[in-house]
């Protein structure tokens, strides 16, 4: 059963130096046509009520209020009572007007692109806000009644020191939000960072930064529930857990991906094609070995891994004895564990997830 909906708004007020997401500079002319195409694609799926709705981007809050309200009114009727409705926002365009609109349409979770507190790193990334503006945006959101807030951090930035990272972590902790996502910088072709010839941080140093994040956030009372995601109890992202539990979801919009009726699909990243209703660029029916690969790839990112009984229900055979030998090898290296009917990575296994997955494939 497909029980989650992702809607993509590709528009941004400016483009960040590291960004590899599917995004375009905001242009009013295209934005109106885009929202119409988004409505048409959503209608094409005949979506009923779902447990979670996620409006991501791009920057959904970069839309003018009128269009933003249209998108919210497209998404809101699909949310089941008690469901989670998340919107991504940037500090500089999370206005009181936008917050009021989101309250009106039942949004109950916000994900804010804070990324860093350091003026040097914010400028390097091409972000258009200061940390003081991020603090003010968080305060506005809380005042408007949003308790379920998440903030993003990017680490392993060019020449970033551990001291800079520690300052960023303390700044993020001072925001007192229940969910934090931390992303290691990757330099992807086509980004400004790649064109400037910037490099990713050497793996051992980036691992050192990750360990610092893990230690600091755990000490501060956050649980790591997924490789990059930390939350207070009960504030895990229910929408993102759909992905990590390898469950189905509708993905609508430019460059969105989805998983419906056993088929994974990727939408086009070409705006003109999208506007002409050529939505899907590629698709794959997930079965056999690839179904197992997706299952391990998603579930083993989670601190709790997967439940052996659910595995058996899904695949029609049990994990043991088929993977007994591989499991013994990985657990002998201290990477994979089994406890209370669940299989999951150790801290070391999460750091070396690629090695674990390779052994299981
Ligand atoms: S990081 Fe966010 S705000 Fe920056 S260009 Fe990418 S999608 Fe837009």
The residue whose CA has the least distance to atom 6 of ligand 1 is 19
CA dihedral 177, 305, 301, 209 (to 10 degrees): 60
- The protein residue whose alpha carbon is closest to atom 5 in ligand 1 is 15
Across 351-355, average pLDDT: 95
Q: 172-191: per-residue pLDDT in tens?
A: 999 999 999 999 999 999 99
Q: Over the stretch 279-315, which tens digit does the pLDDT of each residue have?
A: 999 999 999 899 999 999 999 999 999 999 999 999 9
Q: pLDDT grade, residue 1 (50/70/90)?
A: confident
pLDDT of residue 245: 97
The average confidence (pLDDT) of the chain is 97
Cα(5) to ligand 1 centroid in Å equals: 21
Q: Which atom of ligand 1 is nearest to the CA of 19?
A: 6
Answer yes or no: is the C-beta of 19 below 6 A from any ligand 1 atom: yes
For residues 267 and 260, is the Cβ–Cβ distance under 8 A?
no
Q: Classify 241 as helix, strand or coil.
A: helix
Q: Give the number of other CB atoms < 10 A from CB of residue 246.
A: 19
Has residue 100 got a pLDDT over 90? yes
Structure confidence by residue, pLDDT tens digits, 133-159: 999 999 999 999 999 999 999 999 999
Residue nearest to atom 1 of ligand 1 (CA): 19
Q: Is the CB of 59 under 6 A from ligand 1?
A: yes
Query: How far does the centroid of ligand 1 lie from the alpha carbon of residue 192, in Å?
Result: 12
* Nearest CA-CA partner of 88 in 52, 60, 64: 60
């Amino acid at each position: 059963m497909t029980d989650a909906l992702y809607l993509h708004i590709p528009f941004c007020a400016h483009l960040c130096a590291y960004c590899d997401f599917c995004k375009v500079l905001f242009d009013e002319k295209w934005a109106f046509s885009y929202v119409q195409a988004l409505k048409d694609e959503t209608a094409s799926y005949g979506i009923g009520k779902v447990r979670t709705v996620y409006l991501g981007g791009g920057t959904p809050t970069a839309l003018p209020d009128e269009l933003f309200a249209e998108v919210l009114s497209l998404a809101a009727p699909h949310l089941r009572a008690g469901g989670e409705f998340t919107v991504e926002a940037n500090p500089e365009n999370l206005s009181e007007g936008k917050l009021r609109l989101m309250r009106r349409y039942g949004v109950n979770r916000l994900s804010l692109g804070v990324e860093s507190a350091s003026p040097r790193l914010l400028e390097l990334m091409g972000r258009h806000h200061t940390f003081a503006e991020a603090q003010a945006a968080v305060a506005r959101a809380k005042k408007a009644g949003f308790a379920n807030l998440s903030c993003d951090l990017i680490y392993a930035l060019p020449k970033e020191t551990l001291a800079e990272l520690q300052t960023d972590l303390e700044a993020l902790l001072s925001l007192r939000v229940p969910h934090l996502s931390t992303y290691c910088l990757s330099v992807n072709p086509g980004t400004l960072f790649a064109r400037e010839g910037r490099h990713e941080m050497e793996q051992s140093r980036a691992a050192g930064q990750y360990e610092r994040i893990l230690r600091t956030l755990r000490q501060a009372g956050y649980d790591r529930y997924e490789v990059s995601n930390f939350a207070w109890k009960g504030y895990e992202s229910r929408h993102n857990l759909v992905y990590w539990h390898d469950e189905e979801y509708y993905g609508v919009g430019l460059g969105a991906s989805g998983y419906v009726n056993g088929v994974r699909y990727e939408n086009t990243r070409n705006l003109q094609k999208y506007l002409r209703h050529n939505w899907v660029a590629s698709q794959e029916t997930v079965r056999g070995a690839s179904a197992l690969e997706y299952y391990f790839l998603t579930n083993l990112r989670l601190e709790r891994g997967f439940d052996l009984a659910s595995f058996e229900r899904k695949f029609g055979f049990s994990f043991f004895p088929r993977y007994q030998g591989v499991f013994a090898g990985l657990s002998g290296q201290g990477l994979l564990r089994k406890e209370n009917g669940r299989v999951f990575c150790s801290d070391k296994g999460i750091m070396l997830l690629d090695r674990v997955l390779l052994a299981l494939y």
